[in-house]
Structure 1
């Protein structure tokens, strides 16, 4: 029998163990997020910022702050629950199987593994001490890129179902004083418009309830700068995105001590999720990067990470193309298309893309009011089928791609007549259309099979098909799923299961067709997110292709996306000459949507030479580091440069975007960045219009130090509104 002293010693040891502080540093090369338990075993976030040189120092951070929390619970909880001691905005809110709406989460365990030299995965388990509900917090880091991916898995080990009322992906706590939020709002043809504001006490929410096309009115991208408005080259800044293709909610809450709490996840609006016993719910990821050298460094980190680890074939190649939409709209036939194949070859692009209007027979797709959902070639327009077009294009010397919109249906279609139960629609309400169409119910496995079959059928019949443009033009009205109702599942699952169903289809497509490039289109920027970009090589930023507007759009997208992902087409929009339009589109993945036969001889000659030049520098634009040199929001000119990894080459684009400047718009030189100071660079102006000469001294050599500290004047003015300079290491 143990003595009373042995029992006392054991109790003391147990007490010390239970009060032992656990510190969990989650580090990248330069920054750290630090979690720590308190004496009650609650898990808090105590640091988010610069990495400390001594790991042992992290344990002392929390004691340096004096934020009493008796009035509202623990402000800096790592994953704030609802219904017990906490009165702040929760990250998670549940109703247990017995109807109890409270949740308490205490630290249980953690582990850290390194899948490879650059990647670390830290998992932290917290658990309700009364109910068998476990939450696992995941933190995946990429060391050199300073990128963190964060998500949550909620496991129900109770005897009955638990209803998840709210289930955020991440709950961050930032103790720096004064925060400035830049969000990107807009509307159709005015996407990605930046709006910066100083956050004040209370909650600022960014959200979407559109179901699909989440980025039509706003985006799940955000920028938070610390202590000052966002700057390109200095200051601490956080860039982030919720990687989710449906309804999102981002809450930025400044608490009573002026700290910032960021809670990001699926929008809980109409989306309470019933989690059956023994099941686990996985949230989407919050992706973010931190920089103490401004937005430039942050975006380069995110772009580099995306190319290497997230975007499909992000370090690979892309196809330049000619699209027929502006040339023909819905009015085409085989001879007309064959002529366009010849135009594509003559222009010098890699591929011809056939857009909307090629399908439907009972209800031919001659406008956007019919045929969507009936994916058979229209026999009047294409009597010999797509296979004939693929062969004709190959004979002409170009590849062939096709447009589809497989998630949607026109009420005037055979698909709608046969399967009204496949359509998202309230049975007791009048149908409400967006662009004359409705959304198919991808929560339904039969619909998933149908959508997969569309793509599979195209490739099976036409194995040389080179490209797919995947469109999505409708939002979800009258949200209701006949399939969920039939299977006695809550209608509140629809918004979540629609997106999961879409991902399931794309996973099947990529398992069978891993390499075929696909463009993610959505009537203008509606789906540029890093979950979908696992399956797509690129996305369409906006239907607004007016080149001056595109300068601003592409500038804003570049904070979050590498140039290789952004489709930039030359069209007839705008009053600028063809040179200006081509130069602007050359800052991404170049394409054309023009009537080649309408070009003047000089315009055609310019486009042909510009495409040859593009072939020479596209690798730097797609895979190099981007530097935003002169902001169009602060100057009459915009200037952007791309620098190769080895610092041996660069390309610099400069544009005059206002006609109010009568004299030279670049009175002063523009300083470059990212070059190697001791290297010498030969500078040459390219993309010159036929019959014109550069005003710059051709082949002049400068040191990298000179170009970065003094700069170069591209001599942009009203007669030279667009200038492209190529820098090459001088031997």
Structure 2
């Protein structure tokens, strides 16, 4: 198949191609959804229907998948609108036209419940082929789609754009868009909702190796109305890609929506003669009844089919960064490990500041990146003493790396200045006083792997790696790639990054890797292909995190979202902080030596509580209720897969003049079972109940779902955690 810059699954034992007559249909179905194609008399491929399998709802998606000429009007004068299509190529003779005709298709059952459709197309004039791939996961109602271009010419071609997903849709009925930004200050905590109108709406990330200052590469589309949790037909689509992305939506003069989802290429990648290139994968699902069912489908798909160790419980951790910054040492870490173990924390993570020596020691952010040797003054025994203490305490250990980056003040820069991306004859453009390494270079890839592998191999007890990326690709020129191949830079960088991550996770399967990029710049499926969790934001104010975690949960399951209890933000008591972090993978980010006894006591109770319910949160079904952007009393609940236990989390974010009474909704219980209600996470200094005195101690799942749980809040930034357990 040739080299593929981005991930594309290889089909083993593909069924023989099958042709069908004009206007016949081909369907790929899951338990509840269907995607249907047809071939016209002119051998043009069309998307005919996407919707519910029982026919009760069909989305407005459809139309030609590779449009060439303008659509013919009824009079036949071919004066309709022109479409961008899903592919752009540049041939050696300058031709850009694309006129794909259907050749054949094949469907293969890769494993029980997973079917893979490949449709083969060929350009009418040139020996250029396109494969359209669609994979269906039956039990979770999720699809994956991507494209492959094969160059049968005797010369290279350029490929500026190769979308993973492309469709037309009838926009006479309104179409609504919901998306989320990545910036840590404010925007990731708020949903951006809009009705698509005439013209183009373009969501682009241009950061290169992440999406820190762009949109999260996932969207929600509502058909006919802005989708809510339980009402409004919708689609959720997420791109398996962690760099610059492009989501384009254009409604033309005939009220047809054209949508393309793919990589936002800064150049024109080259496909050699006889070689192929693949788009990333776009993962999508649909729901006739709001975002909630669609999200739960994506959560199950991720845990069951996508994530490495997707059902392995994530540990409660404490990270040194927000409490200590760069001021770390062997003695300090051992003391904080002791304090953390006493709180019930299971994993201590040593963040930045442990490496570099001499003038390049990592004592500030201007030096040391790239010199992954332990600082001999701060860690004179490397990790020997730390690991001995961890053994004695029975606590796991983790460590921070930023292998893609370099400081100019480092031994690595002096030894290998050619490993740094840099525009010829121009000064460096730095971000946070650092630059990105040329990850397209195999020598750099080997260096990255060796740096991390050396520490993990010497200390096999390490359970966790926080992998950071604090800079964009700001000097977008690869010294390794030839001048005429600079258009391949983004693809080659991502290919190198994923190769390193794949090799590390395969060699160290018991290590959990966290994707961080100055916060939420890698909150996406692309990074999670070889990571286990991601860091949502460096702004750990709990009110902000409440919204950010909520938004990310639309397409990512709770066990991928790390949520730390910190001291950031004013007016929040420890219980509120813990209840917010219980929404996901709870942890802490504090210097335990500086915490008050009351704070530590509340965290100790919260950690013990979370351990009792984390399997419900991380592996169960999530039901979101009023969004914190829309309501002063947002809440959600989780239900175990066997429906024997549930956890309700509710928050009071608005001001309270007097006692505020609120009934927290409950969903997902077995209506026939009886459930006992118990309020949990009540620290010693804050034992007043939030559950109203008149609440029944137990009743049927049907009654809880009809009545909710009556709560009372006496102040702003109050919260409640309520456990529901089946008694019969």
Q: Tell me if TM exceeds 0.5.
A: yes
Match of 2:641 in 1: 645
Higher relative contact order (CA 8 A, sep 6+): 2
Aligned length in residues: 694
Q: Greater shift after overlay, 386-395 or 462-471?
A: 386-395
Q: Which of 64, 70, 73 is the matching residue for 2:71?
A: 73
2:250 and 2:420 mapped to 1: Cα distance? 38
**1:718 correspondence with 2:712:** no
Q: Which has the larger radius of gyration?
A: 1
1:720 and 1:727 mapped to 2: Cα distance? 23
Match of 2:26 in 1: 24
Listed as ranges, the matches of 1:204-353 within 5 Å are 204-268=201-265, 270-353=266-349
Match of 1:197 in 2: 194
SS at match of 1:385: coil
1:406 and 1:146 mapped to 2: Cα distance? 37
**1:498 correspondence with 2:493:** yes
SS at match of 1:564: helix
Q: In 1, are the aligned partners of 2:567 and 2:590 still within 8 Å (CA)? A: yes
1:377 and 1:657 mapped to 2: Cα distance? 44
Q: Which of 439, 444, 450 is the matching residue for 1:442?
A: 439
Unaligned runs of 5+ in 2: 1-18, 74-78
SS at match of 2:43: coil
**1:599 correspondence with 2:595:** yes
Q: Greater shift after overlay, 362-371 or 215-224?
A: 215-224
**1:33 correspondence with 2:35:** yes
**1:373 correspondence with 2:370:** yes
Q: Greater shift after overlay, 535-544 or 331-340?
A: 331-340
Q: Which of 106, 121, 137 is the matching residue for 1:142?
A: 137
**1:631 correspondence with 2:639:** no
**1:158 correspondence with 2:153:** yes
Q: What is the CA-CA distance between 1:524 and the residue it aligns to?
A: 1.2
SS at match of 1:714: strand
2:167 and 2:684 mapped to 1: Cα distance? 55
Q: What is the CA-CA distance between 1:453 and the residue it aligns to?
A: 0.6
1:85 and 1:495 mapped to 2: Cα distance? 35
Match of 1:561 in 2: 556
1:665 and 1:553 mapped to 2: Cα distance? 25
Q: What is the CA-CA distance between 1:605 and the residue it aligns to?
A: 2.6
What TM-score, normalized by structure 2, do the two folds share?
A: 0.91
Q: In 1, are the aligned partners of 2:100 and 2:124 still within 8 Å (CA)? A: yes
Q: In 2, are the aligned partners of 1:630 and 1:670 still within 8 Å (CA)? A: no
Q: In 2, are the aligned partners of 1:271 and 1:496 still within 8 Å (CA)? A: no
Listed as ranges, the matches of 1:565-580 within 5 Å are 565-575=560-570, 576-580=572-576
1:628 and 1:587 mapped to 2: Cα distance? 11
Q: 1:426 to 1:695 in 2, by over 3 A?
A: closer
Q: In 2, are the aligned partners of 1:183 and 1:222 still within 8 Å (CA)? A: yes
**1:521 correspondence with 2:507:** no
SS at match of 1:44: strand
1:641 and 1:121 mapped to 2: Cα distance? 34
Q: In 2, are the aligned partners of 1:191 and 1:217 still within 8 Å (CA)? A: no
**Residues 36-59 of structure 1: CA deviation (Å, up to 9, x unaligned):** 1111111111212222469xx99x
Q: Which of 43, 50, 53 is the matching residue for 1:51?
A: 53
SS at match of 2:712: coil
1:272 and 1:185 mapped to 2: Cα distance? 26
Q: What is the CA-CA distance between 1:639 and the residue it aligns to?
A: 0.6
Q: 1:719 to 1:222 in 2, by over 3 A?
A: closer
1:561 and 1:74 mapped to 2: Cα distance? 42
SS at match of 1:661: coil
Match of 1:87 in 2: 82
1:326 and 1:138 mapped to 2: Cα distance? 44
Q: In 2, are the aligned partners of 1:624 and 1:643 still within 8 Å (CA)? A: yes
Match of 1:79 in 2: none
Q: 1:547 to 1:19 in 2, by over 3 A?
A: closer
Q: Greater shift after overlay, 316-325 or 370-379?
A: 316-325
Q: Greater shift after overlay, 423-432 or 90-99?
A: 90-99
Q: In 2, are the aligned partners of 1:216 and 1:525 still within 8 Å (CA)? A: no
Match of 1:672 in 2: 666
**Residues 288-321 of structure 1: CA deviation (Å, up to 9, x unaligned):** 1100010111111111111111122111121111
SS at match of 2:308: coil
Match of 1:7 in 2: none
Match of 2:4 in 1: none
Q: What is the CA-CA distance between 1:184 and the residue it aligns to?
A: 1.1
**1:424 correspondence with 2:418:** no
Unaligned runs of 5+ in 1: 1-16, 76-83
Match of 2:676 in 1: 682
Match of 1:10 in 2: none
Q: 1:53 to 1:332 in 2, by over 3 A?
A: closer
**Residues 337-368 of structure 1: CA deviation (Å, up to 9, x unaligned):** 21111111111111111010000013000011
SS at match of 2:456: helix
**Residues 434-482 of structure 1: CA deviation (Å, up to 9, x unaligned):** 0000000111000010111111111121111111000000011131111
Q: Greater shift after overlay, 237-246 or 131-140?
A: 237-246
Listed as ranges, the matches of 1:162-181 within 5 Å are 162-175=157-170, 177-181=173-177
**Residues 240-265 of structure 1: CA deviation (Å, up to 9, x unaligned):** 11111111111112233323222111
Q: Greater shift after overlay, 717-726 or 471-480?
A: 717-726
Q: In 2, are the aligned partners of 1:636 and 1:657 still within 8 Å (CA)? A: yes
Match of 1:12 in 2: none
SS at match of 1:223: strand
**Residues 325-344 of structure 1: CA deviation (Å, up to 9, x unaligned):** 23321123222221111111
Match of 1:5 in 2: none
SS at match of 1:400: strand
Match of 1:101 in 2: 96
2:347 and 2:132 mapped to 1: Cα distance? 45
Q: Which of 699, 702, 711 is the matching residue for 1:702?
A: 699
Q: What is the CA-CA distance between 1:123 and the residue it aligns to?
A: 0.5
**1:468 correspondence with 2:470:** no
Q: In 1, are the aligned partners of 2:204 and 2:214 still within 8 Å (CA)? A: no
Task: Tell me the C-alpha RMSD between the 2 structures.
Answer: 2.4
SS at match of 1:609: helix
2:197 and 2:375 mapped to 1: Cα distance? 58
Q: What is the CA-CA distance between 1:511 and the residue it aligns to?
A: 2.2
